[in-house]
Structure 1
Amino acid sequence: MNSPRLLRRCLLAALSAVLAASAFTAAPAHAAPEAADATVFSDTFDGSAGSAVDSSKWQIETGDNVNNHERQYYTSGNKNAALDGQGHLVITARRENPANYQCWYGTCQYTSARLNTSGKFTAQYGHVEARMKIPRGQGMWPAFWMLGNDIGQVGWPNSGEIDVMENVGFEPSTVHGTIHGPGYSGSGGIGAGYSLPNGQAFADAFHTFAVDWAPDSITWSVDGNVYQRRTPADLGGKAWAFNKPFFLILNLAVGGYWPGDPDGSTAFPQQLVVDSVTVTTSNTSGGTGSPITGLAGKCVDVAGANPANGTAVQLYDCNGTTAQKWTVGSDGTMRALGKCLDVVGNGTADGSKVQLWDCTGGPNQKWTVTGARDIVNPQANKCLDVTDNNSANGTRLQIWSCSGGANQKWTVG
């Protein structure tokens, strides 16, 4: 972020994090990597006008933020974050204080909203994007960003932070993307800015802000135009904090060290209008989208082609349907129907069944395909196994101590 960029936003109450970004000369734009083929998170904000966001996907943070000297009070429910009935989430910043909210500086002057997916969804690698129209005006500070899911254990900045998009109102034509981690946080964050040509303002239209995220690599783009890529080589020997699960955050701050406070030129209310937020697995992450065949030439199959959490994964005649098309990612996941192959209950014992579940980044969703054609869950150090060596259609798959048997041998792709 531009100066004075000294402090960070905090995750209010339990999250206790802070935010900033740093400017860096952008690389020449070129075509972004192709978006992915398996959707693991999507919200298109469909619903009746005035309704709150989907609570199964988002939680609402409340309170003020002394750490960055922002001026707003983040409110609950649909007070400042509501659907518009036309497929958008609208986060509204207002100059008001309807409930005598108290902020670090006294009686609050503004309200706004901040949402995150902590405890509901985490991503680890893939294509992460939001299509949004940002507000305008001095003191406005919209952001779409991510924090490491281990922030409660390791704190910030050891958790890592990926700022997909930030804008400050005094730069209507420019957005910033930044990473922060141990030894490169706050004003030392590593990032770049991207500017629209001919003085166009981001507030005038919807734009798509994205990162393509892979092990040891993050690439930023706006409307498909790449403007920076970061790897561990950019950190001067400091730790890369981005090979683990992160959760998503959307917010609209008012004032603070970086954007400065609103002034007489700032019109209220201001709105951050979000058309969609999507996370997909990357075509560049080693995906196959192909069947996995095993005992008796049958396939690993999602029962009934049902994408619901908890659906059994079984052995079945190969039929070429999407229930049998698996993407093996470089993040260690095996995905079908947009979800992950998952060991039930994080089990490690022989006989723990496998199922389809939302991708969480957990160790019960990590798999290694060996040269001996085993599919191993490293946490349990056990193999994907056809229960009782039974080749009948519908036989449930499980993990079991690796034995070299035919019921543990698989051909991927």
Structure 2
Amino acid sequence: MAAPRPLRRCLLAALSALLAGSALAGPAQAAGSGTTSASAAAVTTFSDTFDGPAGAAVDSSKWQLETGDNVNNHERQYYTSGTKNAALDGQGHLVITARRENPANYQCWYGTCQYTSARLNTSGKFAAQYGHVEARMKIPRGQGMWPAFWMLGTDLGQVGWPNSGEIDVMENVGFEPSTVHGTIHGPGYSGSAGIGAPYSLPNGQAFADAFHTFAVDWAPDSISWSVDGTVYQRRTPADLGGKTWVFNKPFFLILNLAVGGYWPGDPDASTSFPQQLVVDSVSVTTSNTSTGAAIRGLAGKCVDVAGANSANGTPVQLYDCNGTAAQQWTVGSDGTLRALGKCLDVTDNGTADGSTVQLWDCTGGPNQKWVVTDAHDIVNPQANKCLDVTGNNSANGTRLQIWTCTGGANQKWTVG
């Protein structure tokens, strides 16, 4: 991680009223055929693929441009309106451009601004609470560059930062061309005390050389970060040392390219301009069974968490359908099946016939991925085996397991 970085103070007017010329908060500084995956049941609640003619403005029904500078992080850019620093390229991309220029004589906290760039958000237009939040982007390169894709709580104007919470899906600082960071910030763990982790490409590859997909999978009391589908960290309230988890509420999206600041440092003679953050797509998907649905199988009985106990390792069993939370399963956009805030998990990452299933914290592991086939099988792809009622026994409390797919009635399931 980078050296210790100072706490950030957020001026609420920048995001609640978005007044032209307001001082802005920055992202806090921190470190097969015939089958469908569980994610096929996902509903896209927000999507922008940035289609349109070259030079056109971003879709104003989805995004708004913030304007002003940012003294809090000691950033050097002035965020502008219009299309000079944020425009479509005619090839399905949004291009956010940082320029070493100031033709409008913008004034920044340090005097006449030396750079211009752009920052967009969905405040008042779109907010998400849980789901798969993703952006496919190619980031800029060079000392002093600071691109970010992040989120802030919609209650920012009421409770202030960091009580609003902040989820940094991706941040990069130019002196780390192979590394990005994912972080959460909240009361008592903000700024340099934010909780997160880095992810680095192998063999010295630079993120600026190609498009990459940056995402979080966000559920009650759980956030997991991934790059190109590889999960590299997961955070829950247990990581906060007793501090308050402020992420079970709506958040809005932000895209920006900052220049300079406490964390990245300022551009130097090695930094070439203009630099561009090229955004191919942004999407948020959530389950279309977000309130939970029963999974029915043998003898019309349901997949059930024993004793409605949410502790890790609780057996998952067959039981009379009763409509309780222990039988309400959400089809996650990441291929998981979730109940009581946790995931259906093959015990000990097993792949052998007879490996039991249980409830466990969602980790993003292959033992928590499931595919629902048109034939009503629920398959764990890692093991290439089906969710199975042990011994074809329809008695209440019969443990569920994985087993070689046979087409038997004890392996047939209906979701919903």
TM-score higher than 0.5: yes
Tell me the equivalent position of 1:6.
Answer: 6
Tell me the equivalent position of 1:89.
Answer: 94
Following superposition, the deviation at residue 12 of structure 1 comes to 7.4
Alpha-carbon distance between aligned partners in 1 of 2:166 and 2:270, rounded to the nearest angstrom: 32
Alpha-carbon distance between aligned partners in 1 of 2:68 and 2:12, rounded to the nearest angstrom: 7
Q: Deviation per CA, 1:249-291, whole angstroms, max 9, x where unpaired?
A: 000000000000000000000000000000001489665599x
Q: 1:274 to 1:287 in 2, by over 3 A?
A: farther
Structure 2 letter corresponding to 1:216: D
Tell me the equivalent position of 1:349.
Answer: none
Alpha-carbon distance between aligned partners in 1 of 2:255 and 2:159, rounded to the nearest angstrom: 22
Following superposition, the deviation at residue 79 of structure 1 comes to 1.6
Q: Tell me if 1:155 matches 2:160.
A: yes
Tell me the equivalent position of 1:231.
Answer: 236
* 1:174-185 correspondence runs (5 A): 174-185=179-190
Tell me the equivalent position of 2:76.
Answer: 71
Alpha-carbon distance between aligned partners in 1 of 2:134 and 2:276, rounded to the nearest angstrom: 19
Following superposition, the deviation at residue 17 of structure 1 comes to 4.0
TM-score with structure 2 length normalisation?
A: 0.66
Q: 1:38 to 1:161 in 2, by over 3 A?
A: same
The alignment of Structure 1 onto Structure 2 pairs a total of residues equal to 289
Q: 1:117 to 1:190 in 2, by over 3 A?
A: same
Q: Residue 13 of structure 2 contacts residue 157 of structure 2 at CA under 8 Å; is this kept in 1? A: no
Tell me the equivalent position of 1:212.
Answer: 217
Alpha-carbon distance between aligned partners in 2 of 1:98 and 1:79, rounded to the nearest angstrom: 11
Q: Residue 25 of structure 2 contacts residue 70 of structure 2 at CA under 8 Å; is this kept in 1? A: no
Alpha-carbon distance between aligned partners in 1 of 2:276 and 2:222, rounded to the nearest angstrom: 32
The residue matched to 2:157 in structure 1 has which SS?
A: helix
Q: 1:12 to 1:141 in 2, by over 3 A?
A: farther
Alpha-carbon distance between aligned partners in 2 of 1:112 and 1:281, rounded to the nearest angstrom: 32
Q: Tell me if 1:121 matches 2:126.
A: yes
Q: Deviation per CA, 1:333-368, whole angstroms, max 9, x where unpaired?
A: xxxxxxxxxxxxxxxxxxxxxxxxxxxxxxxxxxxx
Q: Tell me if 1:190 matches 2:195.
A: yes
TM-score with structure 1 length normalisation?
A: 0.66
Q: Deviation per CA, 1:52-77, whole angstroms, max 9, x where unpaired?
A: 10000001000100111000000002
Q: Tell me if 1:22 matches 2:26.
A: no
Tell me the equivalent position of 1:362.
Answer: none
The residue matched to 2:14 in structure 1 has which SS?
A: coil
Following superposition, the deviation at residue 139 of structure 1 comes to 0.1
Q: Deviation per CA, 1:350-402, whole angstroms, max 9, x where unpaired?
A: xxxxxxxxxxxxxxxxxxxxxxxxxxxxxxxxxxxxxxxxxxxxxxxxxxxxx
For residue 203 of structure 1, the aligned residue among 197, 200, 208 is: 208
Tell me the equivalent position of 2:175.
Answer: 170
Q: Tell me if 1:253 matches 2:258.
A: yes
Q: Residue 35 of structure 1 contacts residue 283 of structure 1 at CA under 8 Å; is this kept in 2? A: no
User: Which stretch has the larger CA shift, 280-289 or 161-170?
Assistant: 280-289
Structure 2 letter corresponding to 1:19: P
Structure 1 letter corresponding to 2:6: L
Q: Deviation per CA, 1:174-229, whole angstroms, max 9, x where unpaired?
A: 00000000010011100000000000000000000000000000000000000000
Structure 1 letter corresponding to 2:14: A
Following superposition, the deviation at residue 13 of structure 1 comes to 3.8
Tell me the equivalent position of 1:133.
Answer: 138
The residue matched to 1:234 in structure 2 has which SS?
A: helix
Tell me the equivalent position of 1:311.
Answer: none
Q: 1:106 to 1:240 in 2, by over 3 A?
A: same
Report runs of 4+ in structure 1 exceeding 6 Å deviation. Answer: none
Structure 2 letter corresponding to 1:188: A
Q: 1:193 to 1:35 in 2, by over 3 A?
A: farther
Q: Tell me if 1:39 matches 2:44.
A: yes
Following superposition, the deviation at residue 36 of structure 1 comes to 6.2
Structure 1 letter corresponding to 2:239: D
Alpha-carbon distance between aligned partners in 1 of 2:215 and 2:92, rounded to the nearest angstrom: 20
> What runs of 5+ residues in structure 2 fail to find an aligned partner?
16-23, 32-37, 296-327, 333-414
Following superposition, the deviation at residue 244 of structure 1 comes to 0.1
Following superposition, the deviation at residue 78 of structure 1 comes to 1.1
Tell me the equivalent position of 1:262.
Answer: 267
Q: Residue 27 of structure 2 contacts residue 150 of structure 2 at CA under 8 Å; is this kept in 1? A: no
Q: 1:161 to 1:75 in 2, by over 3 A?
A: same
Alpha-carbon distance between aligned partners in 2 of 1:150 and 1:175, rounded to the nearest angstrom: 27
